[in-house]
Amino acid sequence: MDNVLVKDGVDAETVEAVKVLSGTYKYGWDTDIEMEYAPKGLSEDIVRLISSKNDEPEWMLDWRLAAYRRWLNLKVPEWAMVDYPKIDFQDQYYYARPKSMEKKPESLDDVDPKLLETYKKLGIPLKEQALLAGVEAPEGERKVAVDAVFDSVSVGTTFQKELMEAGVIFCSISEAIKDHPELIRKYLGTVVPVSDNYYATLNSAVFSDGSFVYIPPGVRCPMELSTYFRINAENTGQFERTLIIADKDSYVSYLEGCTAPKRDVAQLHAAVVELVLLDDAEIKYSTVQNWFPGDENGKGGIYNFVTKRADCRGKRSKVMWTQVETGSAVTWKYPSCILRGSESQGEFYSIAIANNMQQADTGTKMIHLGKNTKSRIVSKGISAGKAQNTYRGLVSMHPKAKHSRNYTQCDSLLIGDKCGAHTVPYIEVKNNSSRVEHEATTSKVDDDQLFYCRSRGMGEEDAVALVVNGFCKEVLQALPMEFAMEAQQLVAISLEGSVG
């Protein structure tokens, strides 16, 4: 080991750990591709431009403009425990698409090979009959349909035909606005209204693409659906909008993944996800968020300001949010459930890992409006390095939500003495037949468990990763299989360099 250039008191192990760490983020490369940008900055003209690029009808443009005008009067929310330099909204691009996407490809075969190569490298092959990478084909046929979003546009959606046969609509939201305006007009903005919050309003004005799913009554979606978001262009914000409608007695499992190249300058990502569930419908929504977290000094990374909400309108409907948050420099994200229909259920499983200079403020809201509604929150926060990790959540039992039930468990784990772990739950109970239970603990990695692993010959980092995986198990089990494996590896990778 070459120790010549290293200051006194810094041992070889530390140097090695840093080396390993700086090479940790696997998806930090970029794709060299000719891009087409909208002019820098944000104005009504940009909103009009985005709308015209997507060939949108007049009503959609009006909707966007109303959102933009409202946004101008809003203030940046400051209540979250995150600290980042003020964002200059005029100093970035709001629309960037590969030149080759100027004319929407007819089929996947027409997509620019460079783009296909990008997704292949990310482990998301845009070929039909393909599975997410890293997983052996299980028995029977397990298919995953993918909508791939590259910067501001969707580059392709697989299995559309096969899904169509089952009646399922799975396409980019820009296509849906053109092809299914009746559904869009009926549901868009009804779960997360334009006026919801600063970033949701901004998203309503400038969203460029995203995914749209409609599952008709009685249909169990024949395959898992997924969207993969990739930010590639520099100084470009990604604003995507996802709308999933599960009609009566339908079921869908939806996966979401995201990555971005390593860059010195932080990039903005402000998404809105709306889920609508009618009677007896069920949606499983799983996210592995692996945006570039910035380097060990907090330079660069994605600012991830996301509004996700499910509206359980129907009786006995059920929604399950599962998230593994390992990336992003700053995370501000609260996937929530409005339990409106009687006997509806909401679940939230979350692992949030913050290392180095990352800051995560994440949690959920369970709003019980209907009778006999149930919710369950399991949140595991892990802080390492100099990171700050906050769980923020609301459980609200309205007067009419009689005989409802909530159970909340949020645990925090601290690795090292420079990081912070915080819990900010809000509990509001307005009827007496409901039961609400909330538990939270904060502790460090158990010494006995570590010692056990070490005494069996495991390296320290492996031992920590194993203990942490055990800590997260409840959440990992809630993920679909492909994701669970990826997430397990991610947990280990995200913590690399945090020990010693």
Partner 1 sequence: MPIPERKKPDLRPVSDETVMSSSVAWAKETRSKAVARAESQGFPSRQDEYWKYTQPDAFISEQVKLTSRLRPELEIFSAQTEYLINFENGHLSSGRLPSVVGCDVERLGESTTLDSHWIRDLYGQLELAGQNPVERSLAAVNTALATEGVVLRATGILDHPIRIHSVSKGNADAIVHHVIKVEAGASMTLIETGQYGTRANIVIEVDVADTGCFHHIRVQDGVERHIHSHIFARLGKMSTFKSFTLTSDVKLTRNECVLELTGDNANATVAGACLGDGEFHHDDTIFVTHDAVNCESRQVFKKVLRNGAVGVFQGKILVKSGAQKTDGYQISQSLLLDDDSQFLAKPELEIYADDVACSHGSTSGAIDDEALFYLRSRGVSHTKAVDLLTLSFVAEAIQEIEDDTLADAILNHLTKALEIR
Residues of this chain that bind partner 1 (CB under 8 A): 73, 79, 397, 399, 402, 412, 414-444
CB of 427 to partner 1, least distance (A): 4
| Helix ranges (DSSP H) in 180-276 | 181-187, 198-206
CB of 422 to partner 1, least distance (A): 5
Nearer to partner 1, 129 or 443 (CB): 443
Q: Give 321-359 as a DSSP string.
A: EEEEE---SEEEE--EEEE-STT-EEEEEEEEEE-TT-E
Nearer to partner 1, 45 or 460 (CB): 460
CB of 425 to partner 1, least distance (A): 6
Nearer to partner 1, 23 or 470 (CB): 470
Residue with tokens 């009067």: 73
Query: What is the H or E stretch that residue 481 is in?
Result: helix 481-494
What single-letter amino acid sits at 20?
Answer: V
CB of 197 to partner 1, least distance (A): 12
CB of 390 to partner 1, least distance (A): 9
Nearer to partner 1, 219 or 413 (CB): 413
CB of 359 to partner 1, least distance (A): 13
Nearer to partner 1, 443 or 477 (CB): 443
Nearer to partner 1, 204 or 423 (CB): 423
Nearer to partner 1, 130 or 424 (CB): 424
CB of 42 to partner 1, least distance (A): 21
Q: Are 230 and 259 in contact (CB under 8 A)?
A: yes
Residue with tokens 């360099």: 497
Taking the CB of residue 432, how many other CB atoms lie within 10 A of it? 9
Phi, psi of 185 (to 5 degrees): -65, -30
Q: What tokens does 116 get?
A: 């296909």
Nearer to partner 1, 204 or 412 (CB): 412
Nearer to partner 1, 344 or 406 (CB): 406
CB of 56 to partner 1, least distance (A): 29
CA distances from 475 to 50, 385, 392, 472 (A): 38, 23, 17, 6
* Chain mean position to CA 283: 15
Instruction: Identify which of 262, 204, 231, 292 has the alpha carbon closest to the alpha carbon of residue 98.
Output: 231
- Taking the C-alpha atoms of residue 287 and residue 92, their distance in angstroms, rounded to an integer, is 26
Residue with tokens 């791939």: 148
Q: Are 183 and 274 in contact (CB under 8 A)?
A: no
CB of 415 to partner 1, least distance (A): 7
Q: Are 359 and 331 in contact (CB under 8 A)?
A: yes
CA distances from 296 to 281, 349, 418 (A): 43, 27, 13
Q: Are 224 and 254 in contact (CB under 8 A)?
A: yes
CB of 92 to partner 1, least distance (A): 26
Residue with tokens 């799983």: 286
CA distances from 206 to 38, 257, 269 (A): 12, 21, 12
Q: What tokens does 331 get?
A: 């995370």
Nearer to partner 1, 431 or 469 (CB): 431
Nearer to partner 1, 8 or 78 (CB): 78
**Strand, helix or coil at 492?**
helix
CB of 385 to partner 1, least distance (A): 11
CA distances from 119 to 237, 243, 248, 293, 488 (A): 20, 23, 34, 20, 21
Residue with tokens 């970035």: 92
CB of 176 to partner 1, least distance (A): 32
Nearer to partner 1, 322 or 356 (CB): 356
Nearer to partner 1, 290 or 389 (CB): 389
CB of 335 to partner 1, least distance (A): 20
What single-letter amino acid sits at 195?
Answer: S
E strand map for 209-262: 211-215, 224-230, 241-246, 251-259
